[in-house]
Amino acid sequence: MRPRPTVVEIGSVLCGIAAFVTLAVWGFTAWPLPWNIVAGIGAPVLAILVWALFVSPRAVLAVHPFIRAIVELFVYAAATIAWWSMGQAVIGLVFAIVAVTFGALNGRRRLA
Please list the rounded mean pLDDT of every run of 10 residues in the chain (112 residues): 87 94 96 92 96 89 88 94 96 95 84 68
The C-alpha angle 41, 89, 53, rounded to 5 degrees, equals 40
| The predicted structure's pLDDT at residue 21 | 97
Cα–Cα distance for residue pair 85/27, rounded to 1 Å: 11
Q: What residue segments make up the domains of the chain, in order of their start?
A: 7-111
The answer to whether the predicted template modeling score (pTM) of the entire model surpasses 0.85 is yes
* H or E, element range at 88: none
| The predicted structure's pLDDT at residue 112 | 65
| The predicted structure's pLDDT at residue 57 | 82
| The predicted structure's pLDDT at residue 74 | 93
Under 8 Å between Cβ of 44 and 20: yes
Residue 82: how many CB atoms within 10 A of its CB? 22
What is the DSSP code (8-state) at residue 56? S
* Nearest by Cα to 71 from 56, 42, 48, 51: 51
The C-alpha angle 105, 84, 25, rounded to 5 degrees, equals 85
